[in-house]
Structure 1
Amino acid sequence: MKTFRLIDLKIVRQDETSKRLEEFPLIDGLIINKEDGENHWMAEGLVSKEYRYFFEYLLQEGKEVKAYVTITKKSNRPAQLLAKVKNITVLGEHVSVLLDGKMVSSKLRKDSDKILEGLMKEGYSGDRLLEAFKQNI
């Protein structure tokens, strides 16, 4: 396993009417590449206690979230992580949030974009587009 410094954490927050990318300012953080051949990573971020209830909701629901993590230095491009909250620890005015998930490679994202563009050019839309995309992925 390899451990790196977690510099930035953003999570896609989605409700019935909207989807937005929210940044969770880190007091400190680390991210571990499990090196298991499956691209699994664990990230721990120390954030303000004000975010506790959001992360508790994710933990209770067992919801997988799309997170964007910046590793080692601010100038690095964020990596996409599909993760679930595994643990929350209250530490005074802060909370430690442990995320466990799988890193989505940029090649997969690029391939997905090409597949989607191709299907749209073929005239797929709505539910048909979704089904065709799932089959191609």
Structure 2
Amino acid sequence: MKTFKLISMQLADDDALVDIEMEDGLIINKEDEKGTWLVEVFADHKYIPFFQDACDTDKEIIVHVVITKRENDPAAFLTKVCCVKKLKTHASILLTGKLTKPKSDYPEKLLEYLLDKGYKGEELLTEFKKKIIARPQILQPKNV
């Protein structure tokens, strides 16, 4: 098994990505024959109802995670929620899943976002280069 630091996590909801405000997290490649990964995220209590409902209904969730360094490309996982525990200041959310191909990649979403904001020509290129490295949230967050 290999363990990695979880830098960020987003839920893929239709064509939008929803940032999960997290305190900390890790991701484990179990290196088993099924290609199983475990994701544990320590997030705000406000996420408990969403993840508990997904756990209770055995709903599959696509999450995009950035591992180790913020500059890394997000990896998409098809997951199910195993466990949601309310801790004193945060919630521990444990997911299990498999690596999957994302519905759309980050550069495409970033370009669409910048075009929607009215960037053109050289200004578009400059903003794209700056933001592709910084990887800011590119879509307005939805309530989870």
Q: Structure 2 length normalisation: TM-score?
A: 0.67
SS of residue paired to 1:67: strand
Could you tell me which of 73, 94, 98 is aligned with 2:90?
94
In the alignment, does 2:72 pair up with 1:76?
Answer: yes
Match of 1:6? Answer: 6
In the alignment, does 2:59 pair up with 1:63?
Answer: yes
- How many equivalent pairs are there? 104
Q: What percent of counterpart residues are identical?
A: 38
Runs of 4+ displaced beyond 3 Å = none
Alpha-carbon deviation of 1:37?
Answer: 3.1
SS of residue paired to 1:92: coil
Return the alpha-carbon distance in structure 2 between the equivalents of residues 79 and 37 of structure 1. 20
Alpha-carbon deviation of 1:21?
Answer: 1.6
Q: Deviations over 1:25-72 (max 9, x none)?
A: 210000000001332100000000011111111111100111101100
Return the alpha-carbon distance in structure 2 between the equivalents of residues 13 and 87 of structure 1. 21
Q: Which has the higher strand share?
A: 1
Return the alpha-carbon distance in structure 1 between the equivalents of residues 93 and 64 of structure 2. 15
Could you tell me which of 36, 41, 44 is aligned with 1:45?
41
Alpha-carbon deviation of 1:105?
Answer: 5.2
Return the alpha-carbon distance in structure 1 between the equivalents of residues 69 and 87 of structure 2. 25
RMSD: 1.9
Which amino acid is 2:45 matched to?
K
Return the alpha-carbon distance in structure 2 between the equivalents of residues 38 and 59 of structure 1. 21
Gaps of 5+ in 2: 106-144
Match of 1:54? Answer: 50
Match of 1:127? Answer: none
Return the alpha-carbon distance in structure 2 between the equivalents of residues 26 and 93 of structure 1. 12
Gaps of 5+ in 1: 111-137
Alignment of 1:15-26 (within 5 A): 19-26=15-22
Which amino acid is 2:99 matched to?
M
- Larger Cα-atom Rg: 1
In the alignment, does 2:32 pair up with 1:36?
Answer: yes
Which amino acid is 1:13 matched to?
D
Which amino acid is 1:24 matched to?
I
Match of 1:103? Answer: 99
